[in-house]
Amino acid sequence: MQAPDDRDRPDAVAQATAPALPSLKADNCIRTSRRKQLFVAQENIRLYIEKFGVNNVGVLTITMPSECLSARRFQETWHSFRTNVIVRLFPTGMWIRERQPRTGNWHSHAVVNLGRDVRTAFPFDQVRKGFYANVEARLRDSWKCLREKAIAYGVGRTELLPIKGNAIGCARYLTKYLTKSLLSEKGFGEEKCRLFGVWGGVRFVYSQFDWVRNRIFRKRKLWLSRVSGCDDVAGFNRLYDNRWWFVIGEALMNVILPIEYYQVLGENGYQWDELGWSAYQEDLGRYQNFGTEDARRWQSIFDFHYAEGIVFGFGVERAKRYAVNRIRNRERGWEFDPQMLLDLEKVIKRTKKNSSP
């Protein structure tokens, strides 16, 4: 007997409710992708500024002349202006595309190497008041060129200024949209929208390499698990918050690990390879003003525990004492549980409250 056609099936089967598809706004894969973008963008921008020098790098801001809510429209304008104007003025650079917080209009930031010190003598106060006579002539020429070309390419306001702060602060500022988009509904439907890019062949961090294959990053998580007493992400969430990477990740990336964490285990014990040696030298370079390698390593660990203390809600001085105590305890050969300190503080407060007249 021939099987009945689908239209001949009983209604109970035909009308069965299919399982609901997962919402893109709650998709962990998408949120993980955004976190990767945030990490990659922040590290690339920070290292770009450190490579060329904070005094030599400028921040270029591009806006549209009118409302621009369409990602496609802005991408077409930005791509045309970048490839035909910006790249010819500045051979290398990195860009971030983001929405304005209130209006949702798209605009873009870029860090570019100007090849000279434009920050030391830059009159920030005068420029803020609209007086530009004391700005370097070459920088004013760049402003004029960008302004004229912007009109031809349908771009609105352009602004090129030196970096006011440091590399870390600038990287955080330029990537703030990526941070907000993790929990925002504005990015719905734009999960595959490219928000970060580079030109000129200068790139330091690759998403796949650093999050999947880089054993040094895994070693940092191993080190963190040992010093914090947490064996998994759930433990990190309980100790630091469920967004632990964003509150302690930057400090973790600056820690100079014990030498064996960079090495690979071979037949004759731990040995150096190219990846480990390069990562170790890069980490040491962040603390080049602290003399010996041991001094640099302990300073990096102090900085980590200080940042950890700030995460726990300590004030500046108390966070410093916390960091010193953590290092002292490590030298004595036993690990200190941060939760122990938090519990002790609660007991002290409760005792003071009960004993007060």
Q: From 208, 232, 257, give the residue that closes a domain.
A: 208
Total domains present in the chain: 2
Co-location of 51 and 183 in the same domain? yes
Q: What are phi and psi of 132, to 5 degrees?
A: -115, 5
Co-location of 169 and 253 in the same domain? no
pTM of this structure:
0.53
Q: Where are the beta strands (DSSP E) in 219-324?
A: 264-266, 269-271
Dig out the tokens for 196 from the structure. 């970060």
* Predicted pLDDT of residue 206: 62
Q: Where are the beta strands (DSSP E) in 22-88?
A: 57-62
Q: From 208, 230, 260, give the residue that closes a domain.
A: 208
Q: From 169, 187, 208, give the residue that closes a domain.
A: 208
Co-location of 154 and 71 in the same domain? yes
* Predicted pLDDT of residue 124: 92
* Predicted pLDDT of residue 156: 83
* Predicted pLDDT of residue 350: 53
Co-location of 105 and 230 in the same domain? no
Co-location of 44 and 146 in the same domain? yes
Domain assignment of residue 122, given as a range: 26-208
Q: What is the 3-state secondary structure of 285-303?
A: HCCHHHCCHHHHHHHHHHH
Co-location of 68 and 201 in the same domain? yes
Co-location of 203 and 285 in the same domain? no
Residue 252, in any domain of the structure: yes
Cα 27 to Cα 29: distance, rounded to the nearest angstrom: 5
Is 106 within 8 Å of 69 (Cβ atoms)? yes
Comparing CA positions, the residue from 90, 96, 131 lying closest to residue 113 is 90
* Predicted pLDDT of residue 137: 93
Give the three-state DSSP class for 18.
coil
* Predicted pLDDT of residue 354: 52
* Predicted pLDDT of residue 6: 41
Co-location of 195 and 166 in the same domain? yes
| Residues in the chain where the model's pLDDT stays below 50 | 1-32, 182-189, 208-213, 334-336, 340-341, 344, 347-348, 355, 357
Cα 209 to Cα 237: distance, rounded to the nearest angstrom: 25
* Predicted pLDDT of residue 90: 92
* Residue type, position 355, single letter: S
Comparing CA positions, the residue from 333, 334, 339, 332 lying closest to residue 322 is 339
* Predicted pLDDT of residue 231: 76
* Predicted pLDDT of residue 101: 67
* Predicted pLDDT of residue 34: 58
End-to-end CA distance of the chain: 93
